[in-house]
Chain A
């Protein structure tokens, strides 16, 4: 029951996106899909890593895999938007764009990490590969940079998001080094 509710909550951004695309109408749909799918994926990645910070207050760690997989799902939408709608499946152009623009290859590298984590989250593989799941920190760093670089200028709201991301980063670092116990 609880699991279903959380899944529903995690699907809300998709519902929001579809509503705006097909009902209220977005002026620049491709850009809009980028923003919502990317923003959600990034947020969920941070949520995934922060769950262990809250372990004492509320133990949601058992939902971590689910949240992580939803983050991957939004990342797939984001990449799909790039390849199918934006590049119109012109793979040659997609490749040259990727190699040409640092923020795109940061995004691609992050996606590769997420893909690896999603595949190895299957129960049998997980035990074997769990220690490599620390790669999520690399993905977080690259995705955050990707997000900042994609903006023409950061709005106050986006500065706030960067501040929250940095705070989570510091807390995780303190937790990892064992200086503070959460």
Chain B
């Protein structure tokens, strides 16, 4: 592993958001919400819906896969966020007063020098729009125009030691804000929520640390202020409201694997050939359409990521 040698984020001043562009974001907004989004379809949707005015500056996604984003309303009112409730529609009202400021993320474990970084600083990583498919293990999916920076940039910034082979992520633990964390008996999961990635997955250019969607900062129900997005994995891998990232030598035990090890593995790659013991994964229902569509291998990102799992038995390593 040579991650230490590639300090692209530190060297490449040009990849950081241009200060002029950053300062000029007000006038940018005045041009209208439609300017901030990339495709005609999105513009139409944005015009119809009450999408908050963009407050992030970022590089647009050319949308080479020609995906049509789900509506802002669907994306922000149909959420799995078990810390609030297992009811997808109640997350939005319950999370309305979620406090995202101040917000710090601690990076520790096998790194040269552990540190804590604030949100403002994190947002200085080059932001880009990524229109990704997003598929839940429960069999529904949506297309989300995320805004975020590549996790690889943060990994390089952290200078992991050579023994670091995995990343462990942790969601905020705050029973005062999360109703399900107050329950000790009938809680849906053990908290804090934990997820993990292998180093090569974390370094993959598709892997995103999202800070927004539809040009706007993430709403609480979508994992404000910072969440992980790994588009070829089931949704539960993309941990929300991250407060800690730890570099480890061994694979971290993710929350769902801890809760039901027979049903959820470490990798959680979208795979139509491997069923969840209770739900078929062959097809999925895209939010907003009535009938189901076929699920694609690695959620449609096989060309980009299949080589990460070459030689692995994906039935065992699910």
Interface residues of A (CB under 8 A from B): 27-31, 85-86, 88, 93, 97, 100-101, 103, 149-150, 152-156, 159
Contacts and interface: CB of A to CB of B under 8 A. Distances in A.
A121 B274 CA distance: 43
Nearest to A29: B290
Contacts of A93: 282
A159 B180 CA distance: 14
Given A86-B292, A88-B291, A153-B188, 8 more contacts: A88-B292, A93-B282, A101-B275, A103-B278, A152-B138, A153-B189, A153-B259, A154-B188
Contacts, number: 51
A93 B85 CA distance: 33
B277 interface: yes
Contacts of B74: 27
Interface of B: 74, 77-78, 82, 85-89, 138, 140, 183, 186, 188-189, 259, 275, 277-280, 282, 285, 287-288, 290-292
Given A29-B290, A154-B186, A159-B186, A101 B285 contact: no
23 contacts: A27-B74, A27-B77, A27-B78, A27-B88, A27-B287, A28-B285, A30-B292, A31-B285, A85-B290, A88-B291, A88-B292, A93-B282, A97-B280, A101-B277, A101-B278, A101-B280, A152-B138, A154-B188, A155-B85, A155-B86, A155-B87, A155-B188, A156-B183
A153 B77 contact: no
A89 B60 CA distance: 42
Contacts of B279: 101
Contacts of B292: 30, 86, 88
Contacts of A97: 280
B280 A156 contact: no
B143 to A, nearest CB: 14
Nearest to A88: B291
